[in-house]
Amino acid sequence: MPSAIFAGVEMGGTKCVCILGSGPNDILAQEVLPTGDPAATLGAIAQVLERWQASFGKCKAIGVASFGPLDLRRESRSYGRIGTTPKERWTGVDLAGSFAKRFAVPVGFTTDVIGAALAEGRWGAAQGLSDYAYITVGTGVGVGMVSAGRPLLGFHHPELGHVRVVRSPGDDWPGNCRFHGDCVEGLAAGPAIEARSGGSAVDLPENSPIWQTVAHALGQLAHILVVSVAPQRILIGGGVLSAQPHLFPRIRSYFATSLNGYLDTPEVTSGLEQYIGPPGLGTRAGPLGALALALDTDAGHGAAASPTSAKPVRYV
């Protein structure tokens, strides 16, 4: 038995994963629940955690890593809540509070993709790095960034999937983001690929020309990252990339072509294969992210950093 155990809850749009342990090689229990009505779902998760505590003992901290948007600013009156989301009944739900009220332990709260980034830093392909980015390409495109060792946040968490990018030459497919059309998410997420191909993104053959446009958009996203936050490494995971690893050399190639020698540093020249690569934890990064957040919370820095003087966001 480890000396201390931690609980993580990864809240997803269709399912929630509860996890108990202290790291990827020490998972005591894991359980998946469907995401339904908020009260029922949160009640069922709490019951799982209570049952585990009865079997394994009290956990030291709980990490909640959730789909967003989230209010992560400590001083905000809506801290800990979900913002306006198409999952209507979930808008305004007090996620962090619901766990804090029921369990007398510290509760960390962040986005699913920031959680995954924390797990990659603690146990995966970003170990030892102070500045890195984790991109997930699945039902959406999300980006979690760690800067100077802490999750990067401003008045809001990053939403870099919704950045507009230069299009692949000759490509004028309008994209399928309901806000932006051809932002990165509207071009490269699974639903975009499926809307465009009429089939599954996971099964689309490697030689489909659609992959060029997907790789181009992700190469542009990497260009934006390197000239903005300059991560030491960019990890790209999620269902699309794990099923289509041929995308990596294409993304690197579009990235290098786009940057065009502007930064003459080993990260983006000789080291490019390491610079843009897959996560170390694969599909486990999500639930392990919630667990990493619990460990960070216990260490005193799991609560997301937040601006000290921000005005409240009118989320709800």
Interface residues toward a second copy, by CB under 8 A: 83-84, 128-131, 143, 145, 147-150, 152-160, 162-167, 179-180, 220, 223-224, 226-232, 258-267, 271, 305, 307-311, 313-314
Pairing state of beta strands 150-151 and 141-147? antiparallel
Nearer to a second copy, 99 or 123 (CB): 123
Query: Which of residues 160 and 288 has its CB atom nearest to a second copy in the complex?
Result: 160
The amino acid sitting at 98 is: S
Give the integer Cα–Cα distance in Å for 7 and 30: 10
Q: What are phi and psi of 160, to 5 degrees?
A: -70, -15
Give the number of other CB atoms < 10 A from CB of residue 203: 10
**What does the alpha-carbon distance between residue 121 and residue 177 come to, in Å, rounded to a whole number?**
30
CB of 286 to a second copy, least distance (A): 22
223 secondary structure, DSSP code: H
Least CB distance from residue 172 to a second copy, whole Å? Answer: 12
Q: Residue 25 or 260: which CB sits closer to a second copy?
A: 260
Helix, strand, coil % (nearest 5) of the chain?
A: 40, 20, 40
Min. distance of Cβ 229 from a second copy in angstroms?
5
CB of 163 to a second copy, least distance (A): 5
The Cα–Cα gap between 1 and 194 comes to 46
| SS3 category, 3 | coil
Nearer to a second copy, 55 or 257 (CB): 257
- In the complex with a second copy, the residue whose CB is nearer, 41 or 76, is 76
CB of 170 to a second copy, least distance (A): 13
